[in-house]
Amino acid sequence: MSKLGSLGHRLYQGEVSFDFVGRRKLWYSISALILLAAVVGLGVNGLKLGIEFTGGSVYTVTKPGVSVEQARSAADKVVEHTAPIVQSVGNDKVTIQISKDETKSATQVTDELSKSLGVKADTINADVIGPSWGKEISKQALTGLVIFMILVTIYLAIAFEWRMAVAALVALMHDLVITIGVYALVGFEVTPGTVIGFLTILGYSLYDTVVVFDTVKENTRTLSKQNRLSYSEAANHALNQTLVRSINTTVLALLPVAALLFIGGGLLGAGTLNDISLALFIGLAAGAYSSICVATPLLAQLKEEQPEMKALAKRVAQRRAADARAAAEKPQSEDGEGEGDSEDEAVPAGVVGQRNQPVGRRGKGRPSGKRH
């Protein structure tokens, strides 16, 4: 940890720097490949919408010692056209989701499940969800996402500038598409908890991006008054200043989410945790990547198109070329010049330097010049 803290200090002071902005073509290529895989997975597999969006019936069975396998075997005997979804929701309790395409009534399904599992019918809780309610939930989720995007754009355009708003929105869409694509590839069910996870990761990704943009804004406030750094270099320095903070925040956020996903949903079998934990896990990782490798390089690319930034980049290049020529024309000590010449050059013009007198013995009988 001390080494990481030392690295963060060196990054902040500019002693160490990773060229994220200069390698933006590499990051764009990596993002393009990931997005392509996500889009292909979404097109081939599609999203597995939960019963809240499609409609159907949910039966909660409470029985000591009941297992998911027993409940699935009983549900398979009941359904005729679709595959049931069976999940454990706690000790001695399982849920069985049956699609709306099944023709049997809730009473018939309850009676058959009670016989197969050996429980009383009144101990099985049945909830019937109509498809119209699911459509309303989907509409509200989409409306919330659109409103969120509009508010984000307005805020960034006012607090920063429109180029930062565009870069942040591109990063947000990048994270959203990747997360949805992973859901399609893995085959996890999309539920209202998943939608909550989507909105959460968008907020987190925006927070991380705004932190970087705020540092970029501070570092480039008087950038046009100098000729040492271009906008891309100043933005890259700001990114390095916040790099360790972004990594630490992401790691600390991923640890509890990973516990929910792999321990709660995987080892303990609490399938309901998978809905929100997978969205959070993929979204947090994608958000950290996009704020570092997508948003800031894209912002620098947009800013470099401004005439004043093009002029600044030209002045920086001219100064560096002049410095390089001056360094190449600087006389070297091995050019054959005497050491005395070098000493004379070190003395400012018009100033007589100290002369070195030869060392030797005074002649005998020569007065020393001292008075006795």
Task: Transcribe 271-295 into DSSP letters.
Answer: THHHHHHHHHHHHHHHHHHHIIIII
Domain membership flag for residue 117: yes
Indicate whether 72 and 179 sit together in one domain: no
Domain membership flag for residue 363: no
Pairing of the two strands 93-99 and 85-90: antiparallel
Q: What is the reported pLDDT for 12?
A: 55
CB-based contact 231:302 (threshold 8 Å): no
Structure tokens at 126: 């049945």
Indicate whether 172 and 109 sit together in one domain: no
Cα angle vertex 280, ends 279, 286, to 5°?
90
Range of the domain at 64: 56-129
Please give the single-letter amino acid code of residue 54: T
Sequence-distant (6+) residues with CB within 8 A of 80 are: 102, 103, 104
State how far Cα 15 lies from the chain centre.
Answer: 24
Q: What is the reported pLDDT for 361?
A: 47
Q: DSSP secondary structure string, 198-220?
A: HHHHHHHHHHHHHHHHHHHHHHT
Which among 187, 155, 179 has a CA at the least distance from the CA of 168?
Answer: 155
Q: What is the reported pLDDT for 356?
A: 44
Indicate whether 161 and 68 sit together in one domain: no
CB-based contact 299:167 (threshold 8 Å): yes
Indicate whether 280 and 236 sit together in one domain: yes
Q: What is the CATH number of the domain that holds 86?
A: 3.30.70
CB-based contact 127:58 (threshold 8 Å): yes
Domain membership flag for residue 323: no
Cβ atoms within 10 Å of 215's Cβ, excluding its own? 20
CB-based contact 143:7 (threshold 8 Å): no
Please give the single-letter amino acid code of residue 80: E
Indicate whether 142 and 74 sit together in one domain: no
Domain membership flag for residue 272: yes
CA distance 218 to 16: 20
Indicate whether 175 and 296 sit together in one domain: yes
Per-residue model confidence as pLDDT tens for the chain (372 residues): 455 556 555 655 556 678 888 899 999 999 999 999 999 988 888 888 777 777 788 888 888 877 888 888 888 888 877 778 787 776 778 888 887 777 778 888 888 888 888 888 888 888 877 767 667 777 787 887 788 888 888 888 888 888 988 998 899 889 889 988 888 888 777 877 787 788 787 777 788 888 888 888 888 888 888 888 888 888 898 888 888 788 888 888 888 888 877 776 556 555 566 777 888 888 888 888 998 899 999 999 999 988 888 888 888 888 888 888 888 887 654 444 444 444 444 333 333 334 444 444 444 444 544 444
Spell out a b/e string for 264-276, using b for 16 or more CB atoms within 10 Å of the CB, else e: bbeeeebbbbbbb
H-state helical runs in the chain? 2-13, 24-44, 51-54, 68-78, 106-117, 131-159, 162-186, 192-219, 231-241, 243-258, 272-290, 296-303, 307-329, 339-346
The residue among 107, 129, 151 that closes a domain is 129
The residue among 108, 129, 150 that closes a domain is 129
Q: What is the CATH number of the domain that holds 186?
A: 1.20.1640.10
Domain membership flag for residue 16: no
The dihedral formed by the CA atoms of 51, 54, 55 and 59, expressed in degrees to the nearest 10: -20
Q: What is the reported pLDDT for 294?
A: 92
Sequence-distant (6+) residues with CB within 8 A of 309 are: 230, 231, 303
Q: What is the reported pLDDT for 352?
A: 38
Indicate whether 121 and 241 sit together in one domain: no
The residue among 279, 313, 347 that closes a domain is 313
Backbone angles phi, psi at 94, to 5 degrees: -135, 155
Indicate whether 166 and 249 sit together in one domain: yes
Sequence-distant (6+) residues with CB within 8 A of 316 are: 227, 228, 229, 230
Domain membership flag for residue 332: no
Indicate whether 164 and 232 sit together in one domain: yes
Indicate whether 187 and 150 sit together in one domain: yes
Q: What is the reported pLDDT for 318?
A: 87
Per the structure, the count of domains in the chain is 2
